[in-house]
A = this chain, B = another copy of it.
Amino acid sequence: MTLARVLSAIDDDLDAALGRLCDLLAIPSISTDPAHADDCARAADWLVADLAALGFEARACPTPGHPMVVAHGGSGDGPHVLFYGHYDVQPVDPLELWNRPPFEPALEDTPKGRVIRARGASDDKGQLMTFIEACRAWTAVNGSLPGRITIFLEGEEESGSPSLVPFLKDNTETLKADIALICDTGLFADRVPGIVTQLRGLVGEQVTIHGPDKDLHSGMFGGIAMNPARVLARLLAGLHDDTGRVTLPCFYDGVPPLPDDLRAQWDGLNFDATAFLHEVGLSVPAGEHGKTPLEMIWSQPTCEINGMWSGYTGAGFKTVLPAQAHAKVSFRLVGQQDPLAIRDAFRAYVRGNLPADCTAEFHDHGASPASQMATDHPAFERARGALSDEWPAEAAFVGSGGSIPVAGYFKSILDMDSMLIGFAKDDDALHSPNEKYDVESFHKGMRSWARILAALNPS
């Protein structure tokens, strides 16, 4: 009854585990902002020290960007697992909307239960710690880890993972395992676990439209001078037609029809789109006409404006014609859509619709394809059973609207399937002010991993 003793060790150690998580959350490891490079290194060193204390052979491996944490431990006949998480976090703006400093984590009692409030609490520090804490409990009870475990923690997930592919290619032998465990997704619904078996890809693009060589006075030049903000607005508005479909030519090449069996399984989930949208102050699905809500999120590609700026954005008013206009645009991809072809199509669309005296400049923010897991690998059913034992509801194989490029790279570079198992909730405010992680997600997450490791390594 090793598992039972491990689970009660987890229960007994919860407060200490929360304390360790808060220590990690206090490090502002914002990977997208060069000013926080040292903080990313500190977070990596913190994890190396913690893993070494558990008996892992752990180190922080330098990259051109932020370090990768790699740790090896355990032994046995069960499958060798590679656990992946990321220690970097999103930026915190708009800071004024936070009800506490984002890097001063605290436990808060809310009407929906106890939560850990901080940037990164859910995405992804709280999640990756559920696995490390499960290993800690197992080691405390048994004196050893349950099976062969490699832990691989990235520090650039929130900034397009520029170092990931070269690192995987240079360290194939070190990182190769039988199957990957990725903890960066959510519960399917409140207290309903899921294993994500399909993920959308992601293309990130930044475009700058250049017009006049300086900002101009709209009194002196208004009416005769090209206004890049107007050009950008027109370009962005043209990316969708009136039915919500993306207008780029060939954009839908490689988008598969939803298989009837999967449609039936998804319909069986009774997804409550109204409640899902109500959580964020919305009431009706705004996607392509004729698609179901789950199709909009899981099986349809998207084109979204993530940011745009031009001219004077401060207090008061400034009658200026801006010299440039900027936008950050991303595309979520499904099926066999080709990320590079879609980037090219976007750039060709912009260049092809520029008026005289305007030029366009582009900045690449990453491109990854969608991925689809081979769920016939026995580990999937074992993990599903273990999750179903821990939670009040049966675990399901589900889709995800998110993009976790590493799963695709594990397949293409390490020839390894991934099981995406996570405990985040829709109201965790990922990437938003006041991000939180439920203490229940953290606690039952640790217990879930203990059960999964036991299921993968039957004694």
| A335 CA / B283 CA spacing, docked (Å) | 45
Cβ-based interface call for A412 (8 A): no
- Proximity string of chain A (204-236) to chain B, C-beta cutoff 8 Å, 1 when within and 0 when not: 101000011111111111111111011011101
Shortest 3 CB-CB distances between A and B: which pairs? A213-B281, A219-B402, A32-B316
Q: A375 CB to closest chain B CB, in angstroms?
A: 21
Binds B, one of A53-61, A249-257, A301-309, A383-391: A301-309
| A32 CA / B300 CA spacing, docked (Å) | 46
Report yes or no: B34 in contact with A224, Cβ–Cβ below 8 A. no
Q: Which residues from 242 to 263 on chain A have a C-beta closer than 8 Å to any C-beta of chain B?
A: none
| A216 CA / B227 CA spacing, docked (Å) | 30
Give 9 CB contacts A-B under 8 Å: A200-B219, A220-B297, A220-B402, A222-B297, A307-B320, A308-B309, A309-B313, A316-B365, A319-B330
Report yes or no: B220 in contact with A426, Cβ–Cβ below 8 A. yes
Complex partner residue of A229 from B308, B310, B357, CB under 8 angstroms: B308
Report yes or no: A309 in contact with B309, Cβ–Cβ below 8 A. yes
Cβ-based interface call for A28 (8 A): no
Q: Which of A32, A300, A318, A402 has the most CB of B within 10 A?
A: A318
Complex partner residue of A32 from B160, B217, B297, B318, CB under 8 angstroms: B318
- Proximity string of chain A (22-45) to chain B, C-beta cutoff 8 Å, 1 when within and 0 when not: 000000000111100000000000
For the side of the interface on A, what is the size category?
A: 35 or more
Report yes or no: B214 in contact with A356, Cβ–Cβ below 8 A. no
| A230 CA / B202 CA spacing, docked (Å) | 18
- Proximity string of chain A (415-443) to chain B, C-beta cutoff 8 Å, 1 when within and 0 when not: 00000000000100111111000000000
Cβ-based interface call for A1 (8 A): no
| A355 CA / B434 CA spacing, docked (Å) | 28
- Proximity string of chain A (178-221) to chain B, C-beta cutoff 8 Å, 1 when within and 0 when not: 00000000100000000000001010101000011111111111
Cβ-based interface call for A113 (8 A): no
Report yes or no: B237 in contact with A233, Cβ–Cβ below 8 A. yes
Binds B, one of A141-149, A165-173, A284-292: A284-292
Report yes or no: A319 in contact with B306, Cβ–Cβ below 8 A. yes
Q: For residue A427, which residue of chain B has the nearest CB?
A: B214
Q: A424 CB to closest chain B CB, in angstroms?
A: 9
Report yes or no: A230 in contact with B236, Cβ–Cβ below 8 A. yes
A431 and B215 in contact, given A223-B296, A305-B310, A315-B33 (Cβ under 8 angstroms): yes
| A401 CA / B431 CA spacing, docked (Å) | 44
Cβ-based interface call for A240 (8 A): yes
Chain B residues within an 8 Å CB radius of A218: 302, 304, 306, 330, 332
Q: A253 CB to closest chain B CB, in angstroms?
A: 18
Q: For residue A291, which residue of chain B has the nearest CB?
A: B223
| A322 CA / B309 CA spacing, docked (Å) | 13
Cβ-based interface call for A275 (8 A): no
Cβ-based interface call for A130 (8 A): no
Report yes or no: A219 in contact with B332, Cβ–Cβ below 8 A. yes
Q: For residue A430, which residue of chain B has the nearest CB?
A: B217
Chain B residues within an 8 Å CB radius of A305: 227, 229-230, 233, 310-311, 322
| A433 CA / B217 CA spacing, docked (Å) | 11
